[in-house]
């Protein structure tokens, strides 16, 4: 437990003193949220790669997923692991940092430096905990827009992201149509499905059932609901994979033993793998932040904000879209992407759609899937030509 505690403290220190650039919004400026709450002061932690050109036309915003953060293409300050999208972001890669100014900010409600439930509430001097207002995807995007204003970027060349990141991409295109030249939503949906809300509720209940959660006051009381968060992560992780991917990788293989132990040890490799995934996640993630992130996704229903018609959200949009789904993704199935494509078409938007064949499930958007890389490269290069970026 000693190492985990130190690392947990490392994660906590990132929420208050991140190894990232930060932008601070102070009163009277404030962020007005969907819930009606007003947040100020507010810190946004972000990473950038490459350089902004003179015309300020080459900015590419990457939006991270539920468990991601702003460390897209550099070593992670807590885990020391590679950035989460190093297949996509870097010199010569589709999001070519020799050509584009790539920005990724930790989302509102996150725990890697942007203000969230682990941040200090200026009114009490203690961490917000559950006093932090409920965050929506639109709130995340509003915060990103404030950051871009600060950076002097009026129009983004492209907004890209997978899963919850893809939701932000769609929200960007709907909320700020004139600020988005190209949009690349991957393995996502314009609304979170009932099944996905159900999985999230299981995860939240696991966190809240941990006695160390302490009604969300664990930081104040010096506890940490690591077991609950680990269980939440284990359950969620299954949904990011596929039956065939799990079978191919683990089968029914036993873990470091030649026979069943007739106990509840992690006999099977797949059990050991999931326990490991749970354990490394709690090192770097704040349990309350997990509750807020999952809630933001659950509340996401873009059509509902536009009179029940998704097509209205994109009516007259000049943004060029490329929608990508994966055949084995059962969390954000291709049918979700097709519904999105239909709406974009009905709204008259310019849209391409590719369904990539892979058995790697929802997580495929993070992995080295050649078809994803090539599709992205083609879309980005063509959009860059249209935008006049050399």
Q: Contact region for other proteins (CB under 8 A) — 67-75, 186-194, 293-301, 334-342?
A: 334-342
Given 85, 159, 379, 389, the residue binding other proteins (CB under 8 A): 379
Asked if 359 touches other proteins (CB under 8 A), the answer is: no
Q: How many chain residues interact with other proteins (CB under 8 A)?
A: 26
State the nearest-atom distance from the C-beta of 345 to other proteins, in Å.
7
Interaction residues for other proteins, span 308-327 (CB under 8 A): 320, 322
Interaction residues for other proteins, span 339-358 (CB under 8 A): 341-342, 345-346, 350-357
Rounded to the nearest angstrom, the gap between the alpha carbon of residue 361 and the centroid of all alpha carbons in its chain is 16
The tokens describing 219, both together, are 């930081």
Asked if 382 touches other proteins (CB under 8 A), the answer is: yes
State the nearest-atom distance from the C-beta of 124 to other proteins, in Å.
51
Provide the phi-psi class of 114: left if phi over 0, else alpha when psi is between -120 and 50, else beta.
Answer: beta
Specify whether the CB–CB gap between 184 and 324 falls below 8 A.
yes
Query: What CA–CA distance (Å, rounded) separates 379 from 94?
Result: 9
Q: Contact region for other proteins (CB under 8 A) — 12-20, 147-155, 265-273, 381-389?
A: 381-389
Asked if 385 touches other proteins (CB under 8 A), the answer is: yes
Closer CB to other proteins, 24 or 385, in the complex? 385
The tokens describing 295, both together, are 């809630």
State the nearest-atom distance from the C-beta of 379 to other proteins, in Å.
5
Residue numbers annotated as active site: 163, 329, 362
Asked if 240 touches other proteins (CB under 8 A), the answer is: no
Query: What CA–CA distance (Å, rounded) separates 289 from 294?
Result: 9
Asked if 371 touches other proteins (CB under 8 A), the answer is: yes
Spatial CA neighbour of 242 closest among 368, 366, 362:
362
Q: Contact region for other proteins (CB under 8 A) — 196-204, 233-241, 256-264, 368-376?
A: 368-376
Cβ atoms < 10 Å from Cβ of 16: 13
State the nearest-atom distance from the C-beta of 367 to other proteins, in Å.
17
State the nearest-atom distance from the C-beta of 327 to other proteins, in Å.
10
Asked if 205 touches other proteins (CB under 8 A), the answer is: no
211 CB burial (10 A radius; 0-12, 13-18, 19+)? exposed
State the nearest-atom distance from the C-beta of 28 to other proteins, in Å.
44
Residues engaged in binding other proteins (CB under 8 A): 320, 322, 338, 341-342, 345-346, 350-357, 371, 374-375, 377-379, 381-383, 385-386
């Amino acid at each position: 437990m000693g190492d985990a505690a130190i690392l947990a403290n490392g994660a906590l220190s990132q929420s208050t003193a991140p190894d990232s650039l930060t932008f601070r919004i102070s009163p009277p400026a404030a962020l007005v949220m969907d819930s009606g709450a007003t947040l100020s002061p507010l810190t946004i932690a972000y990473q950038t790669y490459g350089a902004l050109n003179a015309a300020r036309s080459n900015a590419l915003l990457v939006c991270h997923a539920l468990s991601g953060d702003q460390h897209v293409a550099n070593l992670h300050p807590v885990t020391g692991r590679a950035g989460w999208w190093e297949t996509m972001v870097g010199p010569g890669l589709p999001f070519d940092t020799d050509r584009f100014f790539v920005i990724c900010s930790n989302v509102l409600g996150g725990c890697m430096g942007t203000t969230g439930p682990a941040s200090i509430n200026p009114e009490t001097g203690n961490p917000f905990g559950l006093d932090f207002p409920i965050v929506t995807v639109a709130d995340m995007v509003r915060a990103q827009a404030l950051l871009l204003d600060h950076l002097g970027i009026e129009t983004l060349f492209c907004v890209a992201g997978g899963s919850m990141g893809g939701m932000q991409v769609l929200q960007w295109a709907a909320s700020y149509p004139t600020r988005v030249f190209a949009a690349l939503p991957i393995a996502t949906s314009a609304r979170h499905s009932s099944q996905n809300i159900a999985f999230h509720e299981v995860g939240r209940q696991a966190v809240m059932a941990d006695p160390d959660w302490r009604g969300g006051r664990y930081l104040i009381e010096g506890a940490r609901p690591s077991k609950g968060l680990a269980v939440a992560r284990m359950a969620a992780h299954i949904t990011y994979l596929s039956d065939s991917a799990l079978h191919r990788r683990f089968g029914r293989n036993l873990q470091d033993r030649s026979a069943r132990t007739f106990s509840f040890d992690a006999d099977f490799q797949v059990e050991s793998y999931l326990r490991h995934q749970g354990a490394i996640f709690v090192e770097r993630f704040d349990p309350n932040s997990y509750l807020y992130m999952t809630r933001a996704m659950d509340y996401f229903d873009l059509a509902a904000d536009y009179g029940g018609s998704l097509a209205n959200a994109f009516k007259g949009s000049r943004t060029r879209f490329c929608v990508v789904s994966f055949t084995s993704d059962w969390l954000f199935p291709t049918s979700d992407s097709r519904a999105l494509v239909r709406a974009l078409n009905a709204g008259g938007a310019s849209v391409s759609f590719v369904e990539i064949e892979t058995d790697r499930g929802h997580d495929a958007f993070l992995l080295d899937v050649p078809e994803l890389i090539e599709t992205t490269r083609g879309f980005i290069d063509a959009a860059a030509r249209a935008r006049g970026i050399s």
